[in-house]
Structure 1
Amino acid sequence: MRTRLKDVAELAGVSVKTVSNVVNNYVHVTPELRARVTAALDELGYRPNLSARNLRLGRSGMIALALPSVRGAYFSELAHLIVREAEQHELTVLIDCTYGDLEREKNVVESFRTHLIDGIILVPWQLGTADLRAREDTTPLVLLGERMAQSADSVAIDSRAAGQAATEHLLDIGRRRIGVIRNLPRNTGGVVSRNRLNGYKRALAAAGLEFEPELIAEVDFSHGKDARLATDRLLALPEPIDALFCFNDELAMAAMRRLHEQGYRVPDDIAVIGVDGIATGTAVTPTLSTIDPDKQAIAETAVRMLVERIEGSAETGPRRVKAGFTLVPRESTMGQQHTRRRRRTAKHVSGH
């Protein structure tokens, strides 16, 4: 039989109203009463009826997470963390895939199951600032990434700083001809890609090296075939490269495979570094050096910001939060020698 509030009240020697106040985290309950009720709740194994509570609050207890893809390791790992964090707030996550399609993204922010969800976390690839400004739906929204930071709450790492850190690492180990495999997803301007490239340029300039456009290979997607073709283009340059900075880990692993097929040794001939910090990077040979975004902080911050919007406790105006990242040198740049972790954390800054 399901435990009732009345059962808990009788065991604790308090009123049903007091039990209800404790269950709903009402602040005006004395510590002594809260302790007695909590002990009774634990002893009887009481579980609140979330459906009834959400009904009283006019909420569904569900949020949406809309991603461009659910196949890539980075988005899968991030989704896992967001689901776990949402559970801490007693929220269920509905996951949708937009495939980076503009109409699908518009549907997410305009009318996406609004009768079912309390809020939305979205990774936009094509959605523009004008689309958000024209938005009529008032469902709370948090964006993941550096696009449209002034149009809605957003959480992202500093991609320029990440690109600079990756390039500086390659420079620190003595590489000077650093090729780039830059993914250009179908988005409005490719802000993340552009910022990483600007970080690369900044590191070169600080080292007294000129930027050479021919060292940049662009691919439309993160498919292995695209990375292999891009690697071949860079290997065909008259002056050989001695390092590769790939704008995500999947590109980097595909590039390493192609280098192996072409008879190059990593990192002896060409050092390779990626971005994303996906778990698969430790399962390849050599293990992949990477820029590892603080995905746990991204998940925690995104869910917290969304909950604040749902509850109406957030400040007015869009908030922009920067999450940190870690440079993780592994065998693809350091060889078999001992590697160490180096943290370079962006401050968490909120603002309009």
Structure 2
Amino acid sequence: MARVRLEDVAKHAGVSMKTVSNVVHDFPHVSAKMRERVQTSIDLLGYRPNAMGRGLATGRTGLIALALADVTIPYFAELARMISTHSTKRGYRLLLEQTDSSIEEERAIVSASEAGLVDGVIFQPAAMSSLEIAKHRSDVPIVLLGEGPAPLGLDHVMIDNVEAATTVTRHLASLGRRRIGFLGHEQGRPTETSKIRIMGYQRGLELEDLPVDPSLLVASAAISAQAAAVALGAALDGGLRIDGLVCRDDLAAIGALRALAERGIDVPGEVAVTGWDDIAMASFTHPTLTTIAADTTALADTALDLLEERISGFEGLGRHLIVPHHLVIRESAPESA
């Protein structure tokens, strides 16, 4: 069957090709009656706009890139799925890029290399500093995610990580825990995410008049459940005493549950454990995991709202927006009786 052309729709509807084009591109000045007339012909004939031709005409591709450090991390995988679903509803296709926390890969994201390929980029940096991101000029609209500081010129969406870490630390203190550790930050050079969450952890300790003891910080060799289990196990075997544990993320918390179980330490009886991200498996661990949950629906929608405004021509200074979070209380650190 021959492809239905724009002129076929125009002839069927009895209008000009320009009018059909205006309806296809959703130009606002077309009357409701004329829009209905043209849309009826489009539906009856089964007309589908030529994406390449439309892209040449509008300068848009209909593609959005999402750049994350590691899509094997469950939170990133779940966030990518959320953003993909919401992008599709808005008429975009999502291109997923993995940077592996490489400075070179991240520099490529904020350079002009994406120009002409995608309409905009949602990017969660792991290696680049705010200043370096600000120095890179790109004609492609960018919205940043994540905990690190963002340039004043770029849009940024995040949760309040300091407040969230403070909340979860104070929750453990409310359970009577007095030696509360922190598990899962990177050895050597912690990321901005880890630094900010440790900052909130320290603030929580101070607000509860608990000692800030560096010996209660347990770094791991990698962001994984296995690395966290190894790190905590070695610390416990070396004499670490804790009765509460704030974990950098749910993977670290899952590793902690394994290390504690292997040593016969009861959770939450002897050590209460909390995670971060509320990934899907957090409600299936044994015991189930108390954790910080970001409103990922709000995160996806807010990032896409800002990006669409940039794509449509908004050129103002960056909007730095905070979306909600809450503490999900489960068996690993239940409410005090």
The alignment's TM-score, normalised by the length of structure 2, stands at 0.89
Asked whether the 8 Å contact 2:156–2:321 carries over to 1, the reply is yes
- TM-fit CA distance, 1:295: 1.6
CA distance in 2, matches of 1:302, 1:281: 25
**Counterpart secondary structure, 1:95:** strand
Which residues of structure 2 form unaligned runs of 5+?
none
Match for residue 58 of structure 1?
59
**Counterpart secondary structure, 2:57:** helix
Alignment of 1:329-340 (within 5 A): 329-334=329-334
CA distance in 2, matches of 1:247, 1:6: 59
Question: Which amino acid counterpart does residue 68 of structure 2 have in structure 1?
Answer: L
Match for residue 145 of structure 1?
146
CA 1:172–1:279: 2 relative to 1, 3 Å: same
- TM-fit CA distance, 1:69: 0.7
Residue by residue over 1:20-56, the C-alpha shift from the partner in whole angstroms, topping out at 9 and shown as x without a partner, is 3222111112233334444444454443333221110
**Counterpart secondary structure, 1:269:** coil
Asked whether the 8 Å contact 1:125–1:185 carries over to 2, the reply is no
Instruction: Give the alignment's Cα RMSD to 1 decimal.
Output: 2.6
Asked whether the 8 Å contact 1:246–1:273 carries over to 2, the reply is yes
**Counterpart secondary structure, 1:65:** strand
Question: Which amino acid counterpart does residue 288 of structure 1 have in structure 2?
Answer: L
Asked whether the 8 Å contact 1:217–1:233 carries over to 2, the reply is no
CA distance in 2, matches of 1:185, 1:24: 52
CA distance in 2, matches of 1:20, 1:52: 12
CA distance in 2, matches of 1:38, 1:176: 67
- TM-fit CA distance, 1:109: 1.5
Structure 2 residue 222 is the aligned partner of structure 1 residue 246: no
Question: Which amino acid counterpart does residue 165 of structure 1 have in structure 2?
Answer: T
**Counterpart secondary structure, 1:272:** strand
Identity of aligned residues (%): 39
Match for residue 284 of structure 2?
283
CA distance in 2, matches of 1:326, 1:315: 33
CA distance in 2, matches of 1:249, 1:192: 14
- TM-fit CA distance, 1:239: 7.2
Aligned residues between the structures: 335
Question: Which amino acid counterpart does residue 272 of structure 1 have in structure 2?
Answer: V
Match for residue 193 of structure 1?
194
- TM-fit CA distance, 1:113: 4.0
Alignment of 1:33-112 (within 5 A): 33-112=34-113
- TM-fit CA distance, 1:184: 2.8
**Counterpart secondary structure, 2:219:** strand
- TM-fit CA distance, 1:233: 4.7
Greater CA deviation, 150-159 or 226-235? 226-235
Match for residue 341 of structure 1?
none
Pick from 173, 176, 191: which aligns with 2:175? 173
CA distance in 1, matches of 2:114, 2:203: 44
CA distance in 1, matches of 2:83, 2:240: 45
CA 1:133–1:315: 2 relative to 1, 3 Å: closer
- TM-fit CA distance, 1:309: 1.6
Residue by residue over 1:248-277, the C-alpha shift from the partner in whole angstroms, topping out at 9 and shown as x without a partner, is 001100110111111112222211111111
- TM-fit CA distance, 1:208: 2.4
- TM-fit CA distance, 1:185: 7.8
Question: Which amino acid counterpart does residue 156 of structure 2 have in structure 1?
Answer: S
Asked whether the 8 Å contact 2:184–2:228 carries over to 1, the reply is no
Alignment of 1:219-238 (within 5 A): 219-236=220-237
Asked whether the 8 Å contact 2:63–2:120 carries over to 1, the reply is yes
Structure 2 residue 120 is the aligned partner of structure 1 residue 116: no
Structure 2 residue 129 is the aligned partner of structure 1 residue 128: yes
- TM-fit CA distance, 1:231: 1.6
CA distance in 2, matches of 1:40, 1:164: 59
Structure 2 residue 157 is the aligned partner of structure 1 residue 155: yes
- TM-fit CA distance, 1:124: 1.0
Residue by residue over 1:168-216, the C-alpha shift from the partner in whole angstroms, topping out at 9 and shown as x without a partner, is 22223332221110423887x6322222122222222222222222211
CA distance in 2, matches of 1:191, 1:138: 26
CA distance in 2, matches of 1:186, 1:148: 21
Asked whether the 8 Å contact 1:181–1:247 carries over to 2, the reply is yes
Asked whether the 8 Å contact 2:250–2:278 carries over to 1, the reply is yes
Asked whether the 8 Å contact 1:184–1:219 carries over to 2, the reply is yes
- TM-fit CA distance, 1:137: 2.9
CA distance in 1, matches of 2:4, 2:134: 48
**Counterpart secondary structure, 2:264:** coil
Match for residue 300 of structure 1?
301
**Counterpart secondary structure, 1:333:** coil
Asked whether the 8 Å contact 2:162–2:199 carries over to 1, the reply is yes
Asked whether the 8 Å contact 1:215–1:234 carries over to 2, the reply is no
CA distance in 1, matches of 2:235, 2:210: 18
